Structure 1
C-alpha cells in the first residue's frame, strides 16, 4: 500500500512543501522514536535522519509533539474496512486490524507519548481529536452505511445530530476497548477476543460467555448463542 499523504499543517510563507520530504521526515520520526524514545528525541535528530535542515522541520511543525502526532496519524490513515460479508465479520476485522496497528512499536511509542503530553496541553489534545479521532470515524460511517445497505441496521434517523452522537458512541466503544486492552492491560487482541467483543457490541451482555476460569482470549471458545424472541 502506498504511504498516505502527510497531514496538512498550518500554512506558512515560503517555498511550497515537498510531499516526499514530509514522508521522509515522518518516517524518520517514527524510527527515531523507537530507537531513542520520547525523552531523547530531538528535532535535530529527526532532521539528520531525514537528510533535511532543522529549519525545514520548524517551518512545518512548531514543536516535537506536533511532529510526532502527525507521524503516528498517517499510520492510522492506513486502516481500512474490507467488506467481509456481514456486520459481525466487519466488526471483528476492524478490531483485529486496529489491534495489529497498535502492536507496531512505532505506533505504540508515538501514540502513548503524545497522549501523555496532551494531559497538560489542550491544543495538542484538540489536534489529536482532529488528526486521529475525527479522521478515523470514517470507518464507523463506512461500516454503518454498508450494514444499512445489507439490511442489517435501520436507516439513520432524520436528526443529523443524533446520527453524529451514535457514530461517536460506536467509535468510542470500539476504539476505547481495543486501546485499553492493547496498551493499558497489555493483553492480546486475537480472533477469539474479537468474536466475543463483536457479540457484546451487537447482542448485549446477556449473550456473552467465556471459558470457565479462563480469559476470553484463551482458546477458541465460540460465544454461546441464545435463542431470540
Structure 2
C-alpha cells in the first residue's frame, strides 16, 4: 500500500523552542502573497517576515534562502491534491486531472510554480528541492491510482519493483506535463471534455482516442450540359 502524503517539511529546525505550526503557515501564505504582488525578483525575506508578522530571525531559523522558502510555499498547495476512489481507472485519472488544473488556476499556485521552475533552470540545488518537495511527494497519487487499478484488474502487475518505479515515473511525467503545458504554456482550458479525451488517450493508447466525425462526402462535380446539336 502507498503511504499517505507527508506535509511540506521546510528546513530542519535548529535546537531550541518547538516550532509554531501557525507561524509556519503564516510565513508560507505570506510568501505566496508576496510572489503574486511582487514577483520573484522583488521578493525578499524581509518582506515575507513583515507580511507574516514574524521576526526575520524567526524566518531564517526555518529557511536559510529564498529559493527553499518559495518551493515549500508551493509544495503545501500540491499536498491538497487527493485521489478519491471513483470506481474506475478512467474516472480516477479524469478526476485528478481536473483537480490539478483547478489548482493551477489559482494565482498563487500559477505564479509561484512558474517562478521556481524558471529559477531552477539556473540552479541545480533548487531543481533538486523541487523534485524532493513537490514531484516525488506527488507521485503518491500515481502509486495509489495504480494499486487500485491493479486490484480491479484494469492494469497488470509489473514484473519487478524496478519496472514498477519506471512506470510510475512515466505516468506522472505524462499527466503532470500535459496538464501544466495545457494550462500554463498554451493557456487553454482543462475542462471536462479535454480531461476525458486526454484520459482516453492515456489509458487506451492511440486506439483509445475518440474518432473524429467523418468528413462529409464531397459533392459530385456537376456534369456539364451536352452541347446543342448544330444545324448546317
- Measured against the shorter chain, the TM-score band is 0.7 to 0.9
Indicate the residue corresponding to 2:3 in structure 1. none
Distance of 1:5 and 1:138 partners within structure 2 = 13
Which secondary structure does the structure 1 equivalent of 2:174 belong to? Answer: helix
Q: Retained in 1: the 8 A contact 2:8–2:79?
A: no
Indicate the residue corresponding to 2:217 in structure 1. none
Q: Retained in 2: the 8 A contact 1:95–1:174?
A: yes
Distance of 1:162 and 1:9 partners within structure 2 = 32
> Aligned to 2:141, which of 119, 136, 139?
139
CA RMSD of aligned residues (A): 1.5
User: How far off is 1:210 after superposition?
Assistant: 6.6
Gaps of 5+ in 2: 1-5, 214-232
Indicate the residue corresponding to 2:152 in structure 1. 150
User: How far off is 1:5 after superposition?
Assistant: 4.3
Q: Retained in 2: the 8 A contact 1:32–1:41?
A: yes
Indicate the residue corresponding to 1:18 in structure 2. 20
Distance of 2:38 and 2:27 partners within structure 1 = 16
Q: Retained in 2: the 8 A contact 1:30–1:110?
A: yes
Indicate the residue corresponding to 2:226 in structure 1. none
Indicate the residue corresponding to 1:121 in structure 2. 123
Q: Retained in 1: the 8 A contact 2:101–2:179?
A: yes
Say if 1:206 and 1:6 are closer, same or farther in 2 by CA, change over 3 A: closer
Q: Retained in 1: the 8 A contact 2:150–2:156?
A: yes
Within a 5 Å distance, the mapping from 1:156-195 to structure 2 comes to: 156-157=158-159, 159-195=160-196
Indicate the residue corresponding to 2:224 in structure 1. none
Deviation readout 1:19-58 (Å, 9 max, x if unpaired): 1110110011111111222222111111111110011111
Distance of 1:210 and 1:50 partners within structure 2 = 53
User: How far off is 1:148 after superposition?
Assistant: 1.3
Indicate the residue corresponding to 1:61 in structure 2. 63
TM-score normalized by structure 2? Answer: 0.85
Q: Retained in 2: the 8 A contact 1:6–1:23?
A: no
Indicate the residue corresponding to 1:221 in structure 2. none
Q: Which runs of at least 4 in structure 1 moved beyond 3 Å after TM superposition? A: 209-212
Deviation readout 1:68-124 (Å, 9 max, x if unpaired): 110010000000001111100111001000111111000010001111111111011
TM-score normalized by structure 1? Answer: 0.86
Deviation readout 1:199-225 (Å, 9 max, x if unpaired): 10011123324766xxxxxxxxxxxxx
Indicate the residue corresponding to 1:106 in structure 2. 108
Gaps of 5+ in 1: 213-229
Indicate the residue corresponding to 2:225 in structure 1. none
Larger gyration radius, structure 1 or structure 2: 2
Which secondary structure does the structure 2 equivalent of 1:80 belong to? Answer: coil
